[in-house]
Amino acid sequence: MFLCIKNAELYTPTYMGKKDVLVCNDKVIYISERIQTQTLPGKVKVIEAKGLKLLPGLIDQHVHVIGGGGESGYTSRVPELRFSQIIEAGVTTVVGLLGTDSRTRTLRELLAKTKALNEEGITAYCLTGAYALPSPTLMSSVGDDIVFVSEIIGVKVAISDHRSMCPSNDELSKLAAEVRLAGLVSDKVGVVHMHKGVGKDGLKGIFEILERTDIPIKHFRPTHIRKADEEDAVKFSRLGGYVDYTSAEQAEEQAKTILEALQAGVSHNQLTISSDSNGSVPKWGKNHELIGITYARMTSLWKQVCALVELGMCLEEAICFVTCNVAQALEIYPQKGCIAEQSDADMILVDQKMNIRYVFAKGKIMMEEGKILKKGFFEDDH
């Protein structure tokens, strides 16, 4: 079956002007100023997109797909992410992971949810490990998980956080070396995805590892970068590493932090944004006592892009942080993260007010005219 999106303002994410985009099954197969659909064999669904912007589907590389949290007891366990919430957010590719809780949440549950999301129609990967060290695993080791489980592309670990296991540089070096070798064997990125808290060390230990060993910087992925980390973020990106900021409900405030980081010298091409969706967002007192808790929403990812645009960044630059930059960091570009011939047909259409109107994942229409068409198996109105 063919799908033709006509007269859209195309961002690949580079702005290309008004174009028609032809999709066959799950791939973009042709982009042109005008496509004659009547000459195509078989059935063609045509979507008139005049006045709409066509963008790559968003990629969210830090998602608690089975829920996170628990820092305020069992009742504070964040609920599982619903499929419709992913579509609502304009996200077409996710990376699922565990958080502080790897006891009542398990890697088996995480992997099962990841497989379900793939079956339901988006692209989903996941990470082994969690906050704890030694890393919890499905098989006998982190390396085995990466090599033998197709969905697993790396490991999660926590650093510089009062809830972490305070890993030593030697422990992190050995973990990164194992992940690198497993990635080479399985032809995966092999990422050490590091939750970075507000602890005293920041990225100090990672810089020491990079100085002392031959492990390439591409394997280290610090996330939750904050305003206070600006100096470290500049240094890390200049060395060729990717720094990941977390989108926030206070989107304008976080957008200012990101703009300041770019002005300070963080490379535009090395900056990514993720949502931390369905992860707990605890508020800590000065002695690390819990004084409040909520959880993150995936819709904050697109809100963050919109806030950057509202503060003066052009759209084609802002969307890179949630599309091509992430895809390149995960080594799935140009299959993901762009709109190009032979790329996956993961796209969104947004209106002039930046509202998401259509979502396409693997060539299937998941949202049409603002209405979600595809929901999870047990969601209401299935």
Question: What are the catalytic residues?
Answer: 276
Contact present, 302 and 90 (Cβ < 8 Å) = yes
Quick one: how far is CA 245 from the chain centroid?
11
Quick one: how far is CA 361 from the chain centroid?
15
Residue listed under structure tokens 């299937």: 364
Burial of 202 (0-12, 13-18, 19+ CB in 10 A): buried
Residue listed under structure tokens 């063609």: 44
DSSP state letter for 247: P
DSSP reduced 3-state for 275: coil
Question: Among residues 64, 62, 53, 66, which one has the least CA distance to residue 7?
Answer: 53
Q: How many helices (H) and strands (E) does the chain have?
A: 10, 19
Task: Provide long-range contacts, Cβ within 8 A and 24+ apart, for 18-26.
Answer: 19/54, 21/54, 21/339, 21/347, 23/345, 23/360, 23/363, 24/363, 25/1, 25/363, 26/344, 26/345, 26/362, 26/363, 26/364
